[in-house]
Structure formats: structure tokens, C-alpha cells
Amino acid sequence: MNNSAEVTSLILTAYGNIGDMRYFYFILLFVMYITMLFSNTLLIAVICLERGLHEPMYLFLCSLSVNELYGATSLLPALLLYLLSDNNEISFAFCFIQIFCLYTYGVTELGNLAVMSYDRYISICYPLHYYEIITSCKVCFFISLVWLYSFCSVAVTISLSLRLKLCGNVIEKIYCDNYLLVKLACTSTTLNNVYGLVGTFFGVGITFIPILYSYAKILNICMTSSKETRLKALNTCFPHLASLINFSVGVLLVIIQSRFDMTHVPIVLRTVISVYFIMCPPLFNPFMYGLRMNKIRDAFKNIIYYKWQLYPLMRSAK
């Protein structure tokens, strides 16, 4: 194929050698997807329904969970469909839609984690002025900025890839990847590569600078404070740090897989590496935040208690 306009479908070769194990993988992924949907939706519902959780930290957490629902839904339904099908082709249009969704998920996830780190820094280092600094207007601004930046930056990436002429239609993965798609081009990809490097530098820099700065300040406060203050800071930051490390490891694994020859690695392990960044955070984060944060647990108990108290009254009224 010598022109992207002539491409009607792309072949995802990573599905090729699954065999009868596809049914086991289907059941496993289906259970994981339902768990993601239920846990993240429940966390969002608890935060929205409980007025006591309408605070900056929990609103940022709500944005994080919404993004994880978006990311998981952009991949897993299609993945489940391909597992049950012998057809490993994906349409050219849907390939770009998938790239857009997966990349915006990644950029938004990192952006959400960055603003959450800044929120933790203010709450620990300036507790008396927290609500003066982190106002509701700033919360809306930060969340809007994160989502807007991710959608705009990825839209440019997609537009640069759409103009390329392709000389092949085989992608060695279970989903479309922009880096592998660009490698199929038979025209110059200099502009794509330059924008990719610059975008990655600024995207990672813009997000990791506040993260590193925030935790440097938090560490400095902890070093000069009492043991009780250090434990409180650790309990406050632990869920965020765990989420940050979990997602960063997943992104690093994807980058390593894309940039280096992994043909010697078993296909199952390569597949796990490629989906880790989009499957583990949506599974891990709701339980991490739900179990570690007392306010979320108490709010959930209150909602359940109110429901059970209200239900008999409604029945008796009938």
C-alpha cells in the first residue's frame, strides 16, 4: 500500500498465536473490565453524592477516575471483541480513534496526577491557608486545563499522522499505536518525530516539574517536623505516590517495548507490558483511594446506611 487514502484496514498481528487460550483471556479481561467499571463508577458516585467530599482533593480524584473509565472503555470492549473473532483487522478510521483515546488517556492521567501532587503539597505545607490557595475556581481551572491540553496536543499528533503515506498495514500489537503507525510510512516522518520529541519533553516536563517540586517541599517539611507530622504526611501522600509509580512504570514499559527489539520476549509477556498502563491504574486506584481514605469509606457507609434506612420507610408509606 503506497497511500494512506487507499488503506481501509490495518492488521493487529499480536492476536495471531493465542489459539484456544483466547477464551480464558476473554473471561479474565471481562471480569477485570466489569471490576474497573463498577469500582470507578462507585467512587465517582460517592464523591458526587456526598457533599462532604466536595473538596479539591476529592474533585481531582473524581477527574482521575473519569479519565480511567474513559481509557479502559477506549480499549477493552474492542479487545474483548477481537479475542472472540478470527478477524484481526481494524479499520483505518477506528485505528486513529483508538490512538486518540489511548494517548489522551495517558496525557490526562499524568496531568491529573500532577495537579493532585500540587494539592497535596499545599495541604501539607500550608494547611491553614489551604482553602484560600486551592479555591473552587482553581480546581475547575486545573481540571479543565489538564483535559484541554491533552485533547489539543494529541489532536496535533493525529493530524500529522493522517497526512502520511503508508507502505504497509501490519502493526505488531493488540491495539493501534501511533509510533508503530508512523514507522509504516514511506514518506518523510521528520515533522512527526520532532513534534513527538518536543511534545513528550514538554508534556512530561510540565507534569513532572510540579510533581518533583511538590514532593521535594513535602520531604523538606517532613525532615524538620515531628514523627506525628511525618506519619500524617505519609498517609496523605501514599495513595497518590502509589498511583504515580504504578502509572509511570506502565508508561515506561510501553516506551521500552516500542523503542527496543522485544521479539525474544514471549508474546504473552509483551501483551501484558503493552496494556499495563491502561489496565492496572483503573483497577488499582479506586481500591487504593477507597481503602486508604477514611472520608471516602465513611461517605460510602453513610450512603448505604441512608439507603437501608430510607427503603423500609418508602415501603411502609406505600
Which pLDDT tens digit goes with each residue over 36-54? 999 999 999 999 988 888 8
Helix 190-223 to helix 92-125 angle (10° resolution) is: 20
**pLDDT single digits (tens) 115-172:** 999 999 999 989 889 999 999 899 999 999 999 999 999 999 999 998 888 888 888 8
Domain boundaries, the chain: 4-317
8 Å CB contact between 250 and 278: yes
Q: Would the pLDDT of 283 be above 70?
A: yes
The confidence band for 199, taking pLDDT boundaries of 50, 70 and 90, is confident
pTM score of the predicted model: 0.89
- Note the pLDDT of residue 10: 86
Element housing 9 (H / E): strand 9-12
d(CA 244, CA 116) in angstroms, rounded, equals: 10
Chain centroid to CA 195? 22
From the number of C-beta atoms within 10 Å of its C-beta (0-12, 13-18, 19+), residue 258 rates as middle
Strand partners, 9: 91
Q: Would the pLDDT of 179 be above 70?
A: yes
- Note the pLDDT of residue 2: 41
**pLDDT single digits (tens) 84-105:** 887 788 888 899 999 999 999 9
Torsion of CA 259, 263, 267, 269, to 10 degrees: -60
Name the CATH architecture for the domain at 4-317.
Up-down Bundle (1.20)
Instruction: Look up residue 191 and give its three cell numbers.
Output: 515533522
Whole-number average pLDDT of the chain: 85
Element housing 89 (H / E): strand 89-91
The confidence band for 109, taking pLDDT boundaries of 50, 70 and 90, is very high
Element housing 90 (H / E): strand 89-91
d(CA 205, CA 197) in angstroms, rounded, equals: 12
Pairing of the two strands 170-171 and 9-12: parallel
Chain centroid to CA 67? 6
